[in-house]
Structures are given as C-alpha cells and as structure tokens.
Amino acid sequence: MPQPSSPILIIGSYVSPYVRKVLACLGVKGLDYLIDPITPFYGNDEFTRLSPLRRIPVLVQGDLALSDSSVICAWLDEQYPDHPLLPTGSPADRARARWLEEFADSRMGEVLIWDLFYQKVVHPAVWGEPGDADRIAHAIDTAIPEALDYLEGELPADGFLFGTLGLADIAIATFFPNARFAGYEVDAQRWPVTVAFVERCLAHPAFAALTPFEQAQIRVRPHERREALLAAGAPLSEKSYGLKTPRAGVMTL
C-alpha cells in the first residue's frame, strides 16, 4: 500500500476505544501514522480549535483536521480505498455495517466507557475523586447485559461479520479492552458468541500491534506517558497538544 504523501497525525490516547478504532482501521489499510497520545482533558487551546467538543481522536494531515472516529474512518476509506473497511457486496450489507458501527459508538460507548471505564478508571485518575457508584452498578447489573444480549444475536459464530475484519468488527471489539481495564470480564457462558468474536478481532494484527502501547500507557501516570510509549517504540509525534494539568470540556460527564 503506498504511504500518504504527508504524515497522518492522530491526536489521542492509545487507551481510548475511539482512538483504537481509528488506529486499527489504519492497520487494516497498512497506513503509517504519528500519534500525540493525550487524553482530551489535557488538550490545550489549539486542541480545542481542532476538536471543539474536546473529544478524541483527531486526525491531522496537512491542512486537513477531522474529529470523530466515524468521520475519520469514512474519510480513510474514501482517501485510501485499498482494503475497504465497509463490505463491498450489497447496499444492505453496507447499511448493516454502518448501523453496527453506530450501535457500538453510541450504546457500547455509553455503557462500557461513560458508565463504567470513565467512572472507575478515568474519573479517579484525572479528577482525583471516585466515580458514580450507582452509575457503575446500573451498568454492570442492567445496561451492559442488555447490550451484550443484543450483540449475541447479531455476531457470527465464526469469522468476522462480512468476511474479513472491517469497520463494523473493529467498532464493536474496540470497547472490550476498556471493560477489562475497568475490571469487567464478559461471562463466556452467558455470551459465548460475543466473547469468541471479540477475541478473534483483538487477535488480528491490526489490534494486536497496539497492545504493547496500551499496556505501556495504562501502567503509568499521565505525565509519564510519552516516556513510557517512546520506550515501547510507539510512533510519537514531536509536537504535542497536551497540557500538564487537566481541564474539563463541554462533553465531560
């Protein structure tokens, strides 16, 4: 695959599921990237200009700046059409892939990230206070099982959704490492199809190549992140949009 004429910069943490989604799609397409591995709470004013909602990931290439993982992945598929992320068969397959991406981005993001991972991991680490215990309990007892029940009826028993690993597979699987970081393991007896599907996706080279960087980052405090990732061999950008202290954004929950 020919590489871009100018570097692709991804702004965002390796541990973010939405950043992981974009990086896995870059991996499927064989595209190189540089990364500024900040969490949005540490973004400076220039980051806010690029991402008005102070969300990650952000893609920067030359004069182009894109926010939102779905927008970025759609642009990647149009700009670099080799190894397409959406199924090439019927319009119905492409529509279903887009729906599963939307379900993952919205519902899986809500219950596994904002209700669980953010409350148990990010909130204490960034703001120095515990997350919402009632919200965590509702997620574990009710909201996550409902989402998993839906996935169990939609995912294939073998292989991937549309033949090869694509956007829909990536969009779903990307949330599950964060569930583990928050101490939540999906019950393989209750949801065997989902567990097996996620493990197949995460074992794919597009995901597996990211695991050492995630592990390097999750073990250290935010101000130690760049050094840990450099030691792990991550392709860090020279410039960073990060601050030393966090600040809330308009989308902070």
Instruction: Decide yes or no: CATH 3.60.20.10 for domain 91-206.
Output: no
- How would residue 153 be classed by pLDDT, with cut points 50, 70 and 90? very high
Lowest mean pLDDT, pick from 37-51, 59-73, 122-136, 194-208 = 122-136
Total-model pTM: 0.94
Cis peptide before 57 (omega within 30 of 0): yes
Phi then psi for residue 61, to 5 deg, are -140, 110
**pLDDT tens digits for range 49-90:** 999 999 999 999 999 999 999 999 999 999 999 999 999 989
- How would residue 127 be classed by pLDDT, with cut points 50, 70 and 90? confident
Calculate what percentage of the chain has a pLDDT beyond 90: 83
207/35 Cα distance (integer angstroms): 16
Burial group, residue 178, by CB count within 10 angstroms (0-12, 13-18, 19+): buried
